Structures are given as C-alpha cells and as structure tokens.
Amino acid sequence: MIHYREYYPALDELELADGFFEGWPQHPDKTTHRKILKNSFKSIVAIDDETSQIVAFVNIISDGVLSAYIPLLEVIPAYREQGIGSELMRLAIQKLNDFYMIDLLCDEKIVGFYEKHGLTQASAMMRRNYKKQTGQ
C-alpha cells in the first residue's frame, strides 16, 4: 500500500528507491535528492509501506505568499500507471490552493496530464545549465 506524507525530518530514515530521474543524462545522487526534498518550500512523498521506501515525490518552491513553482514530479518506473503522480499533484495543488499562481514546465507529451489537474498551457522561457544537472 502507498501512503503520502509531506516531507519532514523523521522521513530521513526512509530509503529513496532506485530509479528516480530516469532518462536524465546526468542526475542528482541520493544525497542531493534528499537535499531537494528537505530544502523545498514543500515536498510530498509517496511511501511504499511494504518496502518502507520513498517511490515518488513532488516538490514545490515558493515565496510563501503569491507564487509557487513545481520543478519536479517523479515516480519511479515500477510504480507508474497506478495514480501515484495524480495523487501527488492533487495534494500539491490542495496545499497551494490559496496561492495566486502555480507554475511548472513540462515536456509537450505530458501537457494533458497537467491539464487534467487544472493547469493551463502557456508560453514559458527557460535556461538550463546541464553541467549542473547533478546539483553539484
């Protein structure tokens, strides 16, 4: 069974499952991944009760007043197509219900997923420094 928690220090004891950041040419290691969860405005994780592992997460960066940005929503491959990503988005949006804006960037192929959660497609600008993709 999967349960969902807002990340807090006691969850440091849980292992991060293998398989996050699939398809990234370079990706954060588990130490850096843990920092992402801890240092975000909010992070929500999906925990597999049988393995006691974190198998999915969404993190939120915010000014705490008007705006929030969702940089990452990750579900490891073995847990996809079970509604876990949808539940994480539902919980994230619920936590941000009183904010003026919730923004994120995504690949074209998953626009429909986010539209189902009430987000609207818009133009965006971005810059990527792939030399720093590992977070180090």
Residue 63's domain is classified under what CATH number? 3.40.630.30
pLDDT of residue 66: 97
Task: Examine the pLDDT at 136 and tell me if it is beyond 90.
Answer: no
Q: Does residue 131 lie in a domain region?
A: no
Q: Does residue 20 lie in a domain region?
A: yes
Q: Does residue 33 lie in a domain region?
A: yes
- The pLDDT tens digits of the residues spanning 49-107 come to 999 999 999 999 999 999 999 999 999 999 999 999 999 999 999 999 999 999 999 99
Q: What is the mean pLDDT of residues 115-132?
A: 93
- Domain membership of residue 57 as a residue range: 2-122
CA distances from 53 to 14, 21, 25, 36, 99 (A): 6, 16, 24, 17, 31
Task: Examine the pLDDT at 108 and tell me if it is beyond 90.
Answer: yes
Q: Does residue 24 lie in a domain region?
A: yes
Q: Does residue 30 lie in a domain region?
A: yes
